[in-house]
Amino acid sequence: MTIQETLSQHIKVAFSKLYQAELNTVEFQSTRKEFEGDITVVTFPMLRVVKMNPAQLGEDLGKYLVEHVDEVKAYNVVKGFLNIVIDDVFYLNFFNSIKDDNSYGFKPQSEKAIMVEYSSPNTNKPLHLGHIRNNLLGYSVAEILKAAGHKVYKTQIINDRGIHICKSMLAWERYGNGETPKSTGLKGDKLVGNYYVKFDQEYKKEITDLVAQGTPEEDAKKQAPILLEAQDMLRKWEAGDKDVVALWKTMNGWVYEGFETTYKNLGVDFDCYYYESDTYLLGKEFIAEGLKSGVFFKKEDGSVWCDLTEDGLDEKIVLRADGTAVYMTQDIGTAIQRIKDYPDVEGMVYTVGNEQDYHFKVLFLILKKLGFDWAKNLYHLSYGMVDLPSGKMKSREGTVVDADDLIVEMSNTAKELSQELGKLDDYNDQEKQTIYNTIGLGALKYFILKVDPKKRILFDPKESVDFQGNTGPFIQYTYARIQAILRKADFDTSITQSLSDTSLHEKEKELIKQLELFPEVIQNAAQNHSPALIANYTYNLVKEFNSFYQNVSILGADNQNEKVFRVQLSQAVANTIKNAFGLLGIDVPERM
């Protein structure tokens, strides 16, 4: 039972005893720092039950609690706020109960699984900063859901089908001279990305030529030979043309290899992969079924639609007149396929940018109409764009921040800073590089994850990512300092001390209170699908610890008991930092 539950029970009893009235809920908040106390009871809502002066009510309750509850040591009332002082013993006992629990705050895994989809890139474009936000969010939410007690499968849908793929294939055939990632030394995704850009350049050139010859621009856009050729290629692909499919496989293979490298560098992973080219057919099957059951209807031209006007939305196409699949078709197929493959999955989270809010609203609704009961547990983890000072990122205009480049830049910045400080001089180059990567990535990940997912992020490549203040490195630094202390502590820290006669330093108590919050924060973050809550919690914990660290001597404590306790407390904080950062996908260094 938590202290709040204990207090709540007693207050209810007090109410019936003192006023013969029944109280349903008690409202608590943590006591503001300028007042004495640990927990505050807000008396105003109680005035509905008994009509009396809030200050007097506070006095009565405070007096009752001191008399009847062991943990309550003292109280004071300020303007209807009853501030309760909790006995140090309570906090010490609590601390002893968690100090050896390496997975404190984490719930054991249940049988129910959630599938988290993220990344889901376009195979023509190398990953950029926007994908980084997606990947970090998806990975982190998956980890948070695990910590909150869910079984989780991480997955993605790879957009490997359609005209856009043919564009880079065609450009490569025409201008590639047989180039491969090996022959050029380029990452596969970058190589293919270049040909996608090349296609666009040639396409524009052809349009210009046509216009110069007198073709209206609208027509020129449709008649450019290179585009017609790409469309022809798509038809061949759909017909299963051997050569086209072989090329498609080869080039996609290059891209996947390139992506895997980026994922590895970014520290994200997946349990399973889905390919649009595999699932769109299943989607079609269910469209046919839905047509029979009346969920969908057919228009005169043969196209299939879903009428969502009763739900306040429009009609939505789910199959083209020529019978080919649209985006929605394959998403329906993918969802159903996943549940078939993983029957323990009871819900899914889709990490996709907020420009697709409407799409997912419709998708979820259609799945519900099709009668899948898991459809009620679908969640669109919608997040805001990452903007640059120059505006939106556009691949074709070259105004993107490339993911690989950014990761390298970050660790270079970490390297420069670290070398200035010179604390790692006795490490070899490889060890140093590992730490630079940890810090650089930590800065980047924290910078992105600390912001509420639904808000847009303005990213200034030159100034945005800082290493001081509310940043990843600040928190990593605190962790590293604690490790230094633990290395120096030459005694057994695993013992459990009887602490009944110890009195807590104010900073120690604050730290324990902060630790106490962790399990609740995890649950909250899971419910809200928000890594930002974990990030902010960790920051508060670390601020509190740093204040403790600077104001209180840990290894220089007055007596052995106190020294052991402080080291143990530091250890528990370090452990919590590590676990919390793990939920964000951020590593912590032993030294920095």
Partner RNA sequence: GGUGGCAUAGCUCAGCUGGAUAGAGCACCUGCCUUCUAAGCAGGCGGUCCUAGGUUCGAAUCCUAGUGCCAUCACCA
Q: Which of residues 432-451 bind RNA (CB under 7 A)?
A: 439, 450-451
Rule CB under 7 A: say whether 107 interacts with RNA. Answer: no
Rule CB under 7 A: say whether 337 interacts with RNA. Answer: no
Q: Are 39 and 31 spatial neighbours (Cβ–Cβ below 8 Å)?
A: yes
Rule CB under 7 A: say whether 553 interacts with RNA. Answer: yes
Which tokens is 63 given?
Answer: 């007096």
Which tokens is 180 given?
Answer: 């491969």
Outline where DSSP puts E strands in 434-573: 457-458
Rule CB under 7 A: say whether 421 interacts with RNA. Answer: yes
Residue 356 gets which letter from DSSP? G
- Minimum Å distance from CB 481 to RNA? 5
Rule CB under 7 A: say whether 550 interacts with RNA. Answer: yes
Q: Which is nearer to RNA, 334 or 579 (CB)?
A: 334
Residue 313 gets which letter from DSSP? S
Q: Do strands 304-307 and 315-319 pair parallel, antiparallel, or not at all (unpaired)?
A: antiparallel
Contact with RNA (CB under 7 A) among 52, 293, 484, 491: 484
Residue 238: partners with Cβ closer than 8 Å, 6 or more residues away: 324
Q: What SS3 string covers 237-284?
A: HHCCCHHHHHHHHHHHHHHHHHHHHHHHHHCCCCCEEEEHHHHHHHHH
Distance CA 412, CA 394 (A): 25
Rule CB under 7 A: say whether 468 interacts with RNA. Answer: yes
Rule CB under 7 A: say whether 321 interacts with RNA. Answer: yes
Contacts to RNA from residues 371-410, by CB under 7 A:
384-385, 392
Rule CB under 7 A: say whether 151 interacts with RNA. Answer: no
Distance CA 441, CA 435 (A): 10
Rule CB under 7 A: say whether 556 interacts with RNA. Answer: yes
Rule CB under 7 A: say whether 297 interacts with RNA. Answer: no
Beta bridge partners, 347, equal 114
Q: Which is nearer to RNA, 288 or 555 (CB)?
A: 555
Residue 206 gets which letter from DSSP? H
Contact with RNA (CB under 7 A) among 17, 63, 376, 423: 423
Rule CB under 7 A: say whether 159 interacts with RNA. Answer: yes
Rule CB under 7 A: say whether 359 interacts with RNA. Answer: yes
Distance CA 491, CA 75 (A): 39
To the nearest 10°, the Cα dihedral for 55, 56, 58, 62? 140
Rule CB under 7 A: say whether 303 interacts with RNA. Answer: yes
Rule CB under 7 A: say whether 356 interacts with RNA. Answer: yes
Kindly write out the interface string for residues 16-55 of this chain, putting x where it contacts RNA by CB under 7 A and - elsewhere. Answer: -----------x-x-xx-xx-x--x-x-xx-x--------
Q: Which is nearer to RNA, 165 or 266 (CB)?
A: 165
From 76-84, 133-141, 208-216, 365-373, span contacting RNA (CB under 7 A): 76-84
Distance CA 313, CA 320 (A): 20
Rule CB under 7 A: say whether 554 interacts with RNA. Answer: yes
Under rule CB under 7 A, how many of the chain's residues touch RNA? 92
Contact with RNA (CB under 7 A) among 327, 372, 374, 379: 327
- Minimum Å distance from CB 303 to RNA? 4
Closest CA to 278 of 385, 182, 158: 158
Q: Which is nearer to RNA, 181 or 283 (CB)?
A: 283
Q: What share of the chain is helix, strand, coil (3-state, %, to 5)?
A: 55, 15, 30
Residue 470 gets which letter from DSSP? S
Rule CB under 7 A: say whether 455 interacts with RNA. Answer: yes
Q: Which is nearer to RNA, 151 or 359 (CB)?
A: 359
Kindly write out the interface string for residues 571-590 of this chain, putting x where it contacts RNA by CB under 7 A and - elsewhere. Answer: -------------------x
- Minimum Å distance from CB 567 to RNA? 9
Which tokens is 184 given?
Answer: 């050029």
- Minimum Å distance from CB 113 to RNA? 26
Residue 336: partners with Cβ closer than 8 Å, 6 or more residues away: 282, 283, 286, 372
Which tokens is 121 given?
Answer: 């890139």
Rule CB under 7 A: say whether 5 interacts with RNA. Answer: no
From 147-155, 214-222, 348-356, 494-502, span contacting RNA (CB under 7 A): 348-356
- Minimum Å distance from CB 164 to RNA? 7
Distance CA 154, CA 305 (A): 31
Closest CA to 267 of 384, 399, 403: 403
Kindly write out the interface string for residues 114-133 of this chain, putting x where it contacts RNA by CB under 7 A and - elsewhere. Answer: --------x-----------
- Minimum Å distance from CB 391 to RNA? 8
Distance CA 585, CA 592 (A): 18
